[in-house]
Amino acid sequence: MLTHRHARGRLSWWALLLIAGAVGAGAWRWHVKSQQGGEGAAGSGQAASAAYGKGGGDGGGRGGNRPTTVRTAQVTLGDMDVAFNAIGTVIPTQTATVRVRVDGLLQKVLFKEGQLVKAGDLLVEIDPRPFAVQLTQAQGALQRDQAQLQNARNDLARYRALLSQDAGSQQQVDNQLALVHQYEGLVLTDQGSVDSARLQLSFTRVTSPLSGRIGLRQVDAGNMVHSTDTNGLATITQVQPASVVFAVPQDRLPAVLAQSKPGHALPVTATDRDGSSPLAQGQLLTLDNQIDVSTGTVKAKAVFDNADQRLFPNQFVNVRLRVQHLQGVLSAPDAAIQRGTQGTFVYVVLPDQSVKVQPVSVGFSDAGRVQITKGLQANDVVVIDGLDKLRDGAKVDVSKREAQAHASGASQP
């Protein structure tokens, strides 16, 4: 009996330990769930606050959270250009392919590839001897027929004298007169042959048809050349002045036409591929006479002096056409302009370092700034970076350096 009681007591002691452990584990689980539930409720509250524009979350605001760090800029009053940018292609004012006009042996090449030549400069020479022989033959035939013509004229004068003395016949005079006319025709033909041979001889000296830069030569000296050769000898392009062809959108066409008046040329700037380095300054020359229906644009041509030859034929350049210059215009950086379901707006920084959603109306844009036609005033401060974290009424933190820059800018006229 004592042994049985002792065993039953040991079992009761172990049961108490198991029950106490189960109770402790349940209490711990309940504590963890309650903590997680509290955090979830707090997160849901912050999300709802942000959705209603109360400045919750990282956006900062009236709830006492940390202000959002932003970058700002001022609304300025000054001059602004009405302009648009396009991609253009440099084309030479004139292009000519140097070709030979007679067949022969290419004897001399007198130009260097890539050099600048002037109109009339001697470029190549073809062996002139065959053409000189042809000229001599034509001149000989001319002299022979001229002598026969002179003899026929002398005989005609004698026959007419005999006819006046009744010593000759009218038929004899008429026959001699026809012979004179025949020789006159032969002399004219011979003169044409002489002129043709002299012209062919002049073609053996090939000169530049225009001033410009000559390209790579296609034929070396010592080769036979023909007037039917498709490639020619070389190509000359006139690079001073140079032209740039670009496309003007049809919605910009009325403004361009309104400003394109006689004596008022619109300025055009050509820049490099990155748009950071100006290459040349020119002016709008003309517009095409019709709109391309496939692109909705009209071709425009601008002319540049290209004195330093920075524009190269077939080069792609960025083109900036200035249509109009406006004075006393309010403008803000492009980055400040936001667009939503309610329209265009900006975030204006108030004196208490909070932001306000301000609807605005915009006009032209140029050089990273947008014309403000309604909604803002000069020296207003707008947010240009950190916009994705902002809500109406949120608190912001503007760096001291930016605040000093705004103050100095506001003090300038």
Most confident of 21-30, 86-95, 318-327: 86-95
Q: Which residue has the tokens 């309610």?
A: 342
- C-beta atoms surrounding 366 within 10 Å: 19
The stretch 301-321 carries a mean pLDDT of 92
pLDDT over 90, % of the chain: 50
> Does residue 171 carry a pLDDT above 50?
yes
Range of the domain at 289: 84-93+239-325
CATH of residue 115's domain is: 2.40.50.100
Whether 108 and 157 map to the same domain: the answer is no
Tell me the C-alpha distance between 115 and 123, whole Å. 11
Q: What is the Cα 100 distance to its own chain's centre?
A: 36
pLDDT at 65: 65
In this structure, the number of other CB atoms found within 10 A of the CB of residue 179 comes to: 17
DSSP string for residues in 212-279: EEE---SS-TTSEE-TT-SS-SEEEE--SSEEEEEEEETTTHHHHHHH-BTTBPPEEEEE-TTS-SEE
Cβ contacts of residue 94 below 8 Å, gap of 6+?
Answer: 210, 212, 237, 238
Q: What tokens were used for 305?
A: 């002096």
| Burial status of residue 381 (CB atoms within 10 A of its CB: 0-12, 13-18, 19 or more) | buried
Q: Is residue 332 part of a domain?
A: no
Residues 227, 100, single domain; the answer is yes
Q: Is the pLDDT of residue 235 over 70?
A: yes
Q: Choose from 44-58, 103-117, 259-273 the range with maximum mean pLDDT.
A: 103-117
Does residue 130 have a cis bond before it (omega within 30 degrees)? no
Cα separation, 17 vs 10, whole angstroms = 11
Q: Residue 50 falls within a domain, yes or no?
A: no
User: What CATH number is given to the structural domain containing 268?
Assistant: 2.40.30.170
Q: Cα Rg for the chain, rounded, in angstroms?
A: 47
Do 321 and 246 share a structural domain? Answer: yes
Interatomic CA distance for residues 187 and 144, integer angstroms? 9
Residue at 52 is within a domain: no
**pLDDT for res 24:** 59
Q: Are residues 303 and 315 in the same domain?
A: yes
Phi, psi of 264, deg, nearest 5: -130, 90
Full-model pTM: 0.62
Considering the domain architecture, whether residues 153 and 175 belong to the same structural domain is answered as yes
Mean pLDDT of 129-152: 95
- pLDDT over 50 at 141, yes or no: yes
- Total structural domains within the chain: 4
CB 63 within 8 A of CB 397: no
CATH code where residue 154 lies: 1.10.287.470
- Residues 89, 99, single domain; the answer is no
